[in-house]
């Protein structure tokens, strides 16, 4: 049975062009970019070329990109870096209650170090209200961090509006764009952000590499201490093959974006429509329109999300219950709880995330298989019996 992969928000396969671009940097061009001799300078050149490609994808200057080990490090660096660099100005941070764990846990860490964090509520679609941000700002607010789009429910947040508010308030503004980079337009000037987190493995690049955009003149306390790499902002020998792969993935994403958005939006809407028609007591989570072209998150009442995932896996269909980071824990999704779901409702959610290799046949197969699985699980479900 051919495997149907519908979890592109968890990670994407590295595209063959990217693997090809990376390969030579493991073997022939293996020099350390900090070495003065030519084999080091060759890899330094490759890192700088990749930096230019990533910068071009987000409308930034090359020197505003710092490569990291991924999105988690970029989030940690942005938030801790600004917080510690501005301790004399203030100790207040504003974020949303639906951020990725990389942001939420970093904020919790800072709370233990004397910072005060406001976790803003969201509406039933998972949208942050910019007016709530305005209300939450105090004279001590140094940083606002709101994600560009949710990895779980796909809702796209009003980042440009929040950017204006942050600027007026004189607070730094960070967005986690891990789920949007390469999928929808991301322009740091249009969004009005000072810091933006990226991860290569969500746009068909390799795992273990990402970047933080740092607007010129934004002071950050370094996250890693050691050598002078990345203009003294991130110590450690550069992951040259990874960085080259990230640059290649970024370069390839731009010209394909419009076409992919159109294709995936069509498939996404087919899937949503089919699920609503074929499975009763099912509803769409997240905003119906302001959502990522590849995200379908649904709640199927009276069934456990994990049971659906495991049964779909037996049919060679890979989906998740929420984010990959939280799906191994049995805690209900903090995102759905923040949107007003009960723990039972939150447990019955499924996230499909579509991508480059998703076809119409894949969608038809899901629509054929899932209603059968749900009917089988509901027949055994104590949740449905107690409802009747
Ligand atoms: N932020 C968001 C929104 C994500 O979806 C993820 C990964 O799922 C991360 C951060 C973490 O990125 P990485 O896996 O590169 O550390």
Largest CA distance in the chain: 76
Residue 31 beta carbon below 6 angstroms from any ligand 1 atom: no
Which atom of ligand 1 is nearest the CA belonging to 10? 8
Q: How far, in Å, from the CA of 121 to the mean position of ligand 1?
A: 21
Residue 199 beta carbon below 6 angstroms from any ligand 1 atom: yes
Region(s) of the chain under CATH 3.40.640.10: 16-252
* β-bridge partners, 285: 297
Catalytically annotated residue among 107, 217, 318, 325: 325
Region(s) of the chain under CATH 3.90.1150.10: 4-11+257-382
Q: Can you give the pLDDT at residue 325?
A: 47
Backbone angles phi and psi of 379, in degrees to 5: -65, -25
Q: How far, in Å, from the CA of 39 to the mean position of ligand 1?
A: 33
Burial 163-180 (b: 16+ CB within 10 A, else e): bebbeebebbbbbbbbbb
Q: How far, in Å, from the CA of 178 to the mean position of ligand 1?
A: 6
The DSSP call for residue 210 is: E
The β-bridge relationship of strands 116-120 and 141-145 is: unpaired
4-11+257-382 fold? 3.90.1150
Contacts 24+ apart (CB under 8 A), 383-386: 383/301, 383/302, 383/303, 383/344, 384/302
Nearest Cα to 29, choosing from 20, 37, 40, 21?
A: 40
* Dihedral angle of Cα 306, 312, 313, 317, to the nearest 10 degrees: -130
Q: Can you give the pLDDT at residue 193?
A: 98
The β-bridge relationship of strands 172-176 and 349-353 is: unpaired
Nearest Cα to 122, choosing from 164, 152, 82, 165?
A: 152
Give CA–CA dist 263/75, Å, rounded: 31
Would you state the structure tokens that stand for residue 38, as one six-digit string? 């030519």
Give CA–CA dist 81/126, Å, rounded: 27
Give CA–CA dist 44/42, Å, rounded: 5
pLDDT tens, N- to C-terminus, the chain (388 residues): 889 999 999 999 999 999 999 999 999 999 999 999 999 999 999 999 999 999 999 999 999 999 999 999 999 999 999 999 999 999 999 999 999 999 999 999 999 999 999 999 999 999 999 999 999 999 999 999 999 999 999 999 999 999 999 999 999 999 999 999 999 999 999 999 999 999 999 999 999 999 999 999 999 999 899 999 999 999 999 999 999 999 999 999 999 999 999 999 999 999 999 999 999 999 999 999 999 999 999 999 999 999 999 999 999 999 999 654 444 556 889 999 999 998 888 888 999 999 999 999 999 999 999 999 999 999 987 766 655 5
Give, using CA atoms, the residue closest to atom 12 of ligand 1: 71
Q: What is the DSSP string of 278-326?
A: HSSSEEEES-SSSB-TTEEEEEETTS-HHHHHHHHHHTTEE-BSS-TTT
Give CA–CA dist 208/228, Å, rounded: 20
Give CA–CA dist 271/210, Å, rounded: 31
To test ligand 1's pocket by mutation, which of 68, 71, 207 has the most ligand atoms within 8 angstroms of CB? 71
Catalogue the E-assigned strands of 70-193: 92-96, 116-120, 141-145, 172-176
Residue 70 beta carbon below 6 angstroms from any ligand 1 atom: yes
Q: How far, in Å, from the CA of 243 to the mean position of ligand 1?
A: 17
Nearest Cα to 34, choosing from 44, 45, 47, 46?
A: 44
Residue 335 beta carbon below 6 angstroms from any ligand 1 atom: no
Report domain 16-252's class.
alpha beta
Coil, strand or helix: which one is 179?
coil
């Amino acid at each position: 049975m051919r495997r149907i992969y519908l979890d592109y928000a968890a990670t994407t396969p590295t595209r063959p062009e990217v693997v090809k671009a990376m390969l030579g940097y493991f073997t022939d061009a293996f020099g350390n970019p900090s070495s003065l001799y030519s084999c080091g300078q060759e890899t330094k050149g490759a890192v700088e070329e990749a930096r230019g490609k990533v910068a071009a994808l987000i409308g930034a200057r090359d020197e505003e990109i710092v490569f990291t080990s991924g999105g988690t490090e970029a989030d940690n660096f942005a938030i801790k870096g600004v917080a510690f660099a501005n301790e004399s100005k203030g100790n207040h941070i504003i974020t949303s209650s639906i951020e990725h764990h990389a942001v939420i846990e970093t904020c919790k860490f800072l709370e233990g170090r004397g910072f005060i964090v406001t976790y803003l509520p969201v509406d039933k679609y998972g949208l942050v209200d910019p007016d709530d941000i305005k209300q939450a700002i105090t004279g001590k607010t140094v940083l606002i961090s709101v994600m560009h789009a949710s990895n779980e429910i796909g809702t796209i947040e009003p980042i440009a509006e929040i950017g204006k508010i942050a600027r007026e308030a004189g607070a730094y503004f960070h967005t986690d764009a891990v789920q949007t980079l390469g999928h929808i337009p991301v322009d740091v000037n249009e969004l009005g952000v000072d810091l933006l987190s990226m991860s290569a493995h969500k746009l068909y690049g390799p795992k273990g590499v990402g970047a933080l955009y740092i607007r010129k003149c934004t002071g950050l306390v370094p996250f890693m201490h050691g050598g002078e790499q990345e203009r003294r902002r991130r110590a450690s020998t550069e992951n040259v093959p990874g960085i080259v792969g990230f640059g290649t993935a970024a370069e390839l994403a731009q010209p394909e974006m419009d076409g992919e958005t159109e294709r995936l939006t069509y498939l996404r809407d087919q899937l949503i429509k089919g699920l609503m028609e074929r499975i009763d007591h099912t509803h769409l989570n997240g905003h119906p329109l302001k959502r990522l072209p590849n995200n379908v998150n649904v709640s199927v009442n009276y069934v456990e999300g994990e049971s659906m995932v495991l049964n779909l896996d037996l049919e060679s269909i890979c989906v998740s219950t929420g984010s990959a980071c939280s799906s191994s824990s049995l805690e209900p999704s903090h995102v759905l709880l923040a949107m007003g779901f009960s723990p039972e409702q939150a447990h019955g959610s499924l996230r499909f995330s579509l991508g480059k290799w998703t076809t119409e046949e894949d969608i038809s197969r899901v629509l054929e298989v899932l209603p059968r699985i749900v009917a089988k699980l509901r027949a055994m479900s104590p949740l449905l019996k107690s409802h009747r």
